[in-house]
Amino acid sequence: MRATFHLKTLTVAIAAFSVASAASAAGLDRSGQDVTAFLQDGLYAEAVYTYIDGDVSGHDNAYIGPDKKAYEQGKKIDDIAESYDFFRYGVKADINDTFSVGILYDEPFGAAADYSGDNNFVARGDLDASVNAISGGKASSAADAGLKIGQLTAGATQAGAAAANFAAQAQTATTPQAAAGFAEQAQAAQTQAQTLAGQAQSLGAAVAAARAEAATTGEGTNVEVRTESVTGILGMKLGENKNFQVYGGPVMQQVQADVALRGIAYGPATGYTTHISSDQDYGWLAGVSYSKPEIALLAALTYRSEIDHSLNIDETYPLVAALGGDPVQGNKIDITTPKSVNFDFQTGVNQTTLATAKVRWVPWTDFAIVPPLYNEVSKRSTGDDKGLPLVSYDEDQWLVELGLAKRLSPALAVTGTVGWDSGAGDPVTSLGPIEGYYSAGLGAKYNLTENWAVSAGGKYLWFGDAQGQIPTKTIVSDFDSNDGYALGVKVSYQAK
């Protein structure tokens, strides 16, 4: 005979799983975009507070040279991970036994990193050392760069003159063979002139960037990204026993960001600063769920769409002044926050035990932040019309979390969870050098009354080792043996 686990006896065992489960390290993922508040029975409301702190430290790259993948352990980078906190709210109500409505608030994506100390991500003001590092060892000092720029410019001028001379001789040649020979020499000389001029411009850019770095002495690289999201949901239950439910609704999202690149790690981009103003745009959510209350079974699959934002952006790029442009520009930037798929599952194991599982997928390979001025300048190094993004990722994120809850008394239950986050690639952006994590968590829920409950939980995170890279794919840092923790508290009300 099949066991029946009445949901009422298991209610208290649905403990603090979602309290501290929001600590996704891949890409800019934060809250995990949980929708389980809408899947609760009857009238339900919750308020959740989460605090996350990590120790993310490592070393910069002491290697100076042309090999982008080469790494030599450099100076110590102290903890760059700023602690952060956020709230999540949810309210759900049944209109009748078929239709339900709900509204959810969370802060789905974000970043907070701040470099300090004596390393390549902090402007140090040593002009000659900066010229040497930013030029990749092509000039040992500002004076050496000036001398070489003069030599390269003179060589380019001579090669240009030779190209013009060969071209003139091709025009006056008496035979087709002679004309072709002079034309070939003219082309070779012109190519040499362009190469030498490019090398001179590159050294000039290194000097200009080094001077910009000196102007921001003591400032460190930092980034802060914030988002807020409000989701409205309408659900409809189907089937003879109302076991199936389809649900969906609109999503309103706001995004803002600030980024400052400092230190010789960023080469000519040192001194770059951008502010992306807050903007509000819209997407949608859709899902389907199946429940079997007699065994406390609930399974839900939820899809969230991409959301396209067009935001005002202010950029300051000191190098642009040396290139003859305006180093301070205002423009528009298009950012698309990624779609996602969440799968949530729970089932009763026995009268007092509940098992849960959560799987999340986010395609971070589709995401990029491409500031217009930064991108335009980067085309000089890429030599194409695509340029480079400021932030991008090489892999998609997978998150898996398993849990078990045990009711210890009519009012008290405890939970345990283990989890794995794949991260979004290694190497990864130097603004968030973590390759996912493993986690273990504990939580508890206490029913204050028949309707009110309080939950609390904590999770320990073992961050994956990762090398930091800048948009040119040059390795600039190495981070290993890092960890962190997440703490959360939830107050909930439920009337069935």
- pLDDT values of the chain reduced to their tens digit, one per residue, 496 residues: 345 554 455 555 554 455 555 555 677 888 889 999 999 989 999 999 988 888 899 999 998 888 889 999 999 999 998 888 888 999 999 999 999 999 999 999 988 889 999 999 998 877 777 777 777 778 778 788 788 888 888 888 898 888 888 888 888 877 888 888 888 888 988 888 888 887 787 787 777 777 777 777 788 999 999 999 999 999 999 988 899 999 999 999 999 999 999 988 888 888 899 999 998 999 999 999 999 988 889 999 999 999 999 999 999 988 787 777 888 899 999 999 999 999 999 998 888 899 999 999 999 999 999 999 999 988 877 778 888 899 889 899 999 999 998 989 888 989 999 999 998 888 888 888 888 899 999 989 999 999 999 999 899 999 989 999 988 888 999 999 999 998 989 999 999 7
- How many domains, in total, are found in the chain? 2
| Same domain (yes/no): 412, 462 | yes
Residues 226 and 253: beta-carbon distance below 8 Å = no
User: Is 221 within a domain?
Assistant: no
Name, in order, each residue with C-beta under 8 angstroms of 195's C-beta and a sequence gap of 6 or more.
Answer: none
User: Is 222 within a domain?
Assistant: no
Q: Given this model, what pLDDT does residue 138 score? A: 80
User: Is 35 within a domain?
Assistant: yes
| Same domain (yes/no): 411, 309 | yes
| Same domain (yes/no): 97, 149 | no
| Same domain (yes/no): 167, 81 | no
User: Is 275 within a domain?
Assistant: yes
Structural domain harbouring 283: 7-117+227-495
Name, in order, each residue with C-beta under 8 angstroms of 318's C-beta and a sequence gap of 6 or more.
Answer: 208, 209, 211, 212, 215, 271, 272, 327
| Same domain (yes/no): 453, 394 | yes
| Same domain (yes/no): 86, 205 | no
Residues 481 and 465: beta-carbon distance below 8 Å = yes
Q: Given this model, what pLDDT does residue 111 score? A: 85
Cis amide leading into 268 (omega within 30): no
Q: In the numeric block, which tokens belong to residue 141?
A: 């000092």
pLDDT digits (tens, 9 = 90+) for 142-201: 788 788 888 888 888 898 888 888 888 888 877 888 888 888 888 988 888 888 887 787
Residues 427 and 477: their CA atoms lie apart, in Å, by 9
The residue length of the chain stands at 496
User: Is 2 within a domain?
Assistant: no
Name, in order, each residue with C-beta under 8 angstroms of 156's C-beta and a sequence gap of 6 or more.
Answer: 192, 193, 194, 196, 197, 200
| Same domain (yes/no): 299, 342 | yes
| Same domain (yes/no): 112, 175 | no
| Same domain (yes/no): 186, 234 | no
Compute the Cα dihedral for 161, 163, 164, 169 and give only its sign.
Answer: positive
Closest CA to 445 of 11, 57, 122, 28: 11
Closest CA to 488 of 89, 48, 55: 48
| Same domain (yes/no): 157, 235 | no
Q: In the numeric block, which tokens belong to residue 85?
A: 């906190």
pLDDT digits (tens, 9 = 90+) for 429-476: 888 888 889 999 998 999 999 999 999 989 999 998 999 998 888 899
Closest CA to 113 of 330, 246, 259: 259
| Same domain (yes/no): 325, 449 | yes
Residues 374 and 272: beta-carbon distance below 8 Å = yes
Strands 466-469 and 428-429, by their bridges, are parallel
Query: Could you tell me the end-to-end alpha-carbon distance of the chain, in angstroms, rounded to an integer?
Result: 29
Final residue of a domain: which of 184, 215, 246? 215
| Same domain (yes/no): 289, 247 | yes
Name, in order, each residue with C-beta under 8 angstroms of 105's C-beta and a sequence gap of 6 or more.
Answer: 87, 88, 89, 90, 228, 229, 230, 231
Q: Given this model, what pLDDT does residue 1 score? A: 39
Residues 442 and 377: their CA atoms lie apart, in Å, by 49
Q: Given this model, what pLDDT does residue 78 score? A: 92
Q: Given this model, what pLDDT does residue 252 score? A: 97
Residues 358 and 399: their CA atoms lie apart, in Å, by 8
